[in-house]
Chains A and B, each alone.
Chain A
């Protein structure tokens, strides 16, 4: 049913740390790897080795350059480069679900995960139009809608070792920039992280109430003069050349 549940028992989702992400795209690859051979149809590629390759991905990493505003303390602030992973945000008010004519798209009551039942999907693409975040892609080979499953086939999978029962992207991230947990529980590690770091919603004005949160980059620190008690010992010892070099310097000066 494409009616959204009024509330869900848990709100499983991701917290993505924009301060830590190094833009390596490892989560993109591990996501594609896991999801192409597990839940649902494989994630196809078109013309993968040709001149115009494209393919279905459930997670992609953008990179942005942000130019901070000049202040009196920092008249020429350096631009910051921010890597920005983006997958389905498992919105509470998911517009992608209510537009679906077939009931293929749904939000689970037990954990809030938004999924597509591929055997019901007619591939009309309307849900992808309704998602503001570009989190849904129509697979060109299969003709059905693909999206992040929050690795529903890992997180409850008793056949996997305990430490692997989290999303592939989270498990893979070498920088620890992706965190998985229950954002409906204020005591969970992810909720604490969001509270501590001022986690934010993307496009709040769209009214989708995303479950996934983004942690903003921390302010960059600046050079504040002397930074260490040992620093003076590292200062250059000879300001002026002495000895033979000093004589040479002076002689050449006089010529």
Chain B
């Protein structure tokens, strides 16, 4: 799949933002006043910034509101509802924390639940697609949730919890890569089933339907970036897990904390780039590619 920067930014930033919102929501001793304002401002910038960035991917962004209508079948529509729900409820929660120093715990819990639901719906947009076997697994949702919650813990300054969660998220990421490499093979879809010609013999793409490129190839058959995949996987793991944990192990200072966050975000961005660049869409088989 084409690694579109707008979508990579969206899943990374909004995942992190909703992860942070989750922790702010369930915090028994939530910050109040200006500290609360700062935390919520960061969370909203990330979450909303990510969402806005995703609308850049649309062919007709001016009609984006229509995406709220099909929540009964569409995960994208459900995501829109969950996101608006989480941002509204937690906005109210934050309003009372910032201006009245009052914590309405029920709102916090509800908002935290909606924040997790938002990340889950995002993950399901990808995990539901049978056409991309590497994504079409329950582990994809686990990966998105683990990454968001670990990142949120890190961003909210929960040092010891963050270290454990980063380790778990990194482990799940490695596991997801490991098992994803055979997903296409295990799916049973290949050139033989795509063309139905496998009964005769071995099928080879002889001539494509068009001499130039097209939307399908640009959007769904991205084979260029896979060459350095294993190196990039290592870089991603080091940046998103190893380095932040190392920085948290030394006595805490805000500079190291900030560096840990930056490193983590950079790592998740690399991992998300691979998430798209390595994903094989079965339509590639019609072109003899994967």
Contact = CB atoms under 8 A, between A and B. Distances in A.
Interface stretch (B162-170, B207-215, B245-253): B207-215
Given A3-B72, A63-B207, A99-B75, A129 B281 contact: yes
Contact of B200 (A54, A62, A66, A214): A66
Contacts of A81: 206
Interface stretch (B128-136, B143-151, B235-243): B128-136
Contacts of B130: 95, 132, 206-207
A231 B213 CA distance: 51
Contacts of B60: 121-123, 143-144
The A interface is mostly helix, strand or loop, or mixed, namely loop
A55 interface: yes
A226 to B, nearest CB: 28
B201 A66 contact: yes
A50 to B, nearest CB: 10
Contacts of B187: 205
A102 interface: yes
Interface in B1-29: 1
8 contacts: A68-B200, A77-B201, A95-B131, A102-B67, A122-B67, A138-B215, A204-B193, A205-B193
A128 B215 contact: yes
A135 to B, nearest CB: 9
B54 to A, nearest CB: 9
A185 to B, nearest CB: 23
Contacts, number: 199
Interface of B: 1, 57-61, 63-64, 66-70, 72-77, 80, 125, 128-132, 187-189, 193-197, 199-210, 212-216, 219-220, 281-283, 286-287
Contacts of B188: 205
Nearest to A25: B209
B190 to A, nearest CB: 9
Contact of B63 (A55, A57, A122, A205): A122
Nearest to B209: A60
A69 to B, nearest CB: 5
Nearest to B282: A132
A137 B74 contact: no
Contacts of B61: 122
A98 B73 contact: yes
Interface of A: 1-3, 18, 25, 28, 52-57, 60-69, 77, 80-82, 84, 86, 95, 97-104, 120-126, 128-134, 137-140, 142-145, 200-207, 214, 216-217
B287 to A, nearest CB: 8
B204 A126 contact: no
B203 A132 contact: no
Contact of A63 (B59, B67, B125, B206): B206
Given A122-B63, A123-B58, A103 B70 contact: yes
A61 B287 CA distance: 11
A77 B201 CA distance: 10
Contacts of A207: 130
Nearest to B213: A54
Nearest to A95: B130
A102 B63 contact: yes
Nearest to B211: A53
Contacts of B201: 66-69, 77
Contact of A100 (B64, B74, B129, B196): B74
Contacts of B281: 129
A130 B128 CA distance: 9
Given A132-B282, A144-B59, A124 B216 contact: no
Contacts of B69: 101-103
Contact of B196 (A3, A95, A216): A216
Given A64-B206, A143-B60, A202 B74 contact: no
Contacts of A57: 209-210, 214
Given A53-B212, A54-B213, A130-B129, A202 B59 contact: no
Interface centre among A60, A100, A129, A143 (most CB of B within 10 A): A129
B76 A124 contact: yes
A64 B195 contact: yes
A206 B195 contact: no
A62 B77 contact: no
A55 B128 CA distance: 29
A28 B194 CA distance: 20
A56 B102 CA distance: 57
A65 B214 contact: no
6 closest Cβ contacts across the A-B interface?
A: A123-B59, A143-B59, A60-B209, A134-B283, A101-B76, A101-B77
